[in-house]
Amino acid sequence: MLLDTSAWIEYFEASEKGNEISALMLSGYTLYSCPLTIAEISSWCHRNNKEPLTFLKKINELSIIVELNEDILLRSGKIHFELRNSKTEKIESKISLIDCIIYETAHVHGLELLTKDNDFEGLPGVKML
């Protein structure tokens, strides 16, 4: 299972949904992260006056950072275009390019994406917190 940035934030804030992630960790799930999550967590830390390296260390301890490659990036651009221009109300969203990269990273590595971010709702391979 690949944790989206929103899932990591829930975990770090020890929210009710974050406790669900803790339970997954305790039950032996192997967790993965996209490298771009590091940048998003750094931004979150700076907005909230937190030390980014503390959180990066935790991400590295608790998950495996998966590879990000050109194929994922090319496919993410296509997914971003298609979702932003979809005429289907259920899927039409303002999903960001970074979210599309994280989504495609999970897909390419055969992982389910765990997220709280509503922009992913309705997409295959996504588990909502």
> 63: domain CATH number?
3.40.50.1010
What is d(CA 109, CA 16) in angstroms, rounded to the nearest whole number? 28
CA angle 114, 123, 71 (to 5 degrees): 85
Q: Which domain holds residue 69?
A: 2-128
Express each pLDDT in 66-86 by its tens digit.
999 999 999 999 999 988 887
Domains held by the chain: number: 1
pTM recorded for the entire structure: 0.90
Q: Is the pLDDT at 92 greater than 60, yes or no?
A: no
Express each pLDDT in 33-53 by its tens digit.
999 999 999 999 999 999 999
pLDDT band at 87 (very low <50, low <70, confident <90, very high): low
